[in-house]
Amino acid sequence: MIALVCPGQGSQTPGFLAPWLELPGLRERAEALSDAAGVDLVTHGTTSDADTIRDTAVAQPLIVGAGLLALDALYADRPDTLASSAGVVAGHSVGEITGAAATGVLTPQDAMSLVSLRGRAMAEASAITPTGMSAVVGGDPAEVAAALDRHGLTPANMNGAGQVVAAGTLEQLAAFAADPPAKTRVIPLQVAGAFHTVHMAPAADELSAEWSDHNVSDPGVTLLSNTDGVAVATGAEFLRRLISQVRNPVRWDLCMETMTELGVTGLVELAPAGTLVGLAKRAMKGVPTVALKTPDDLDAARELLAASTSAKA
């Protein structure tokens, strides 16, 4: 069983989309996704600088759009489909929207419309109070949790593999970095707000008002939720969770536990890839992984998917 995983914000780098747009039809596809989002994915994925694509309103559509383009490339001219070759799909944070589109819960156009609103709403919420996020790597989990609580920070992403992402005001993060738990590294992240915390409540409210009654389909492949790592059977429930997740912690650790319990034998990460494969190598030891960083990685991913398809047959 292959897991297809979709990365979240912070995975983007300047120019990362350029090689993908050289593939037949993908530039035109990117332009169509840009129209749906109201964000120029081609420019931001090729020539925009790091500060520009760090903007939440730009970063989120860019990441989801890139994932959908990589998915198109992965299955171009192939007889099998995602439903026949991948057994489970999961996205990290905004990557849940990519996952929803990959499994048919959302159309690609709806996914881009939703992520555009999500990015704008979260950027506006971030502007209310200067906030941010820092990865905390290593240390005793109980001591890390106690230190976060002492500084008023939220464990916004429980990523597993010894990594927790702390979120809060810039003052709280600075105080935490000056007094870190023993045997930890504190790494500021290139994001513009305290995502998945109470600071994002205005964004969650706006998304709920605009999208809670939107028509969606049920997933065609097992789709895991960041809320608790469990598979969600209906599109309506996944959408509800996706909206709520904006202000609640991401439990990627539980998603990886579920993948292990389901018997995942390989993992493919869509572009802009690398982060989730890195976590899987530490938490899902022995499971082969492929990070679709550039089109050069497509053959390795297809081989992994083909092996899974053959095993099912």
137 pLDDT band, cuts 50/70/90, is very high
CATH of the domain at 162: 3.30.70.250
pLDDT in tens, 165-204: 999 999 999 999 999 999 999 999 878 899 999 999 999 9
10 pLDDT band, cuts 50/70/90, is confident
Same domain, 43 and 94: yes
Same domain, 75 and 98: yes
Structural domain boundaries, residue 293: 2-126+197-312
Same domain, 114 and 207: yes
Same domain, 215 and 306: yes
Are residues 104 and 216 in contact, defined by beta-carbon separation less than 8 angstroms? no
Catalytic member of 196, 199, 225, 308: 196
Same domain, 292 and 214: yes
The count of domains in the chain is 2
Tokens of 136: 């905390």
User: Of 142, 165, 188, which marks where a domain is finished?
Assistant: 188
Same domain, 84 and 206: yes
Same domain, 62 and 148: no
Does the active-site annotation cover 93? Answer: yes
Tokens of 274: 């690398």
pLDDT over threshold 60, residue 313: no
Instruction: Give residue for tokens 């995502």.
Output: 195
Are residues 12 and 51 in contact, defined by beta-carbon separation less than 8 angstroms? no
Instruction: Identify the CA nearest to 187 among candidates 207, 173, 203.
Output: 173
Does the active-site annotation cover 44? Answer: no
pLDDT at site 90 = 98
d(CA 301, CA 59): 25
Three-class HEC string of 92-122: CCCHHHHHHHHCCCCCHHHHHHHHHHHHHHH
Same domain, 78 and 175: no
Same domain, 296 and 241: yes
- Give the predicted TM-score (pTM) of the model: 0.94
Same domain, 183 and 205: no
Residue 159 gets which letter from DSSP?
A: E
Mean pLDDT (whole number) for 55-75: 97
Average pLDDT across the chain, whole number:
95
User: Of 164, 188, 212, which marks where a domain is finished?
Assistant: 188
Catalytic member of 93, 116, 134, 308: 93
Mean pLDDT (whole number) for 228-241: 97
pLDDT over threshold 70, residue 309: no
CATH of the domain at 79: 3.40.366.10
Are residues 265 and 1 in contact, defined by beta-carbon separation less than 8 angstroms? yes
What letters, b where the CB count within 10 A reaches 16 and e where it falls short, cover 35-45?
A: ebbebbbbebb
User: Of 136, 166, 188, which marks where a domain is finished?
Assistant: 188
Three-class HEC string of 195-226: CCCHHHHHHHHHHHHHHCCCCCCCCCCEEECC
Q: Which residue has the higher pLDDT, 143 or 80?
A: 143
Same domain, 241 and 108: yes
Same domain, 116 and 229: yes
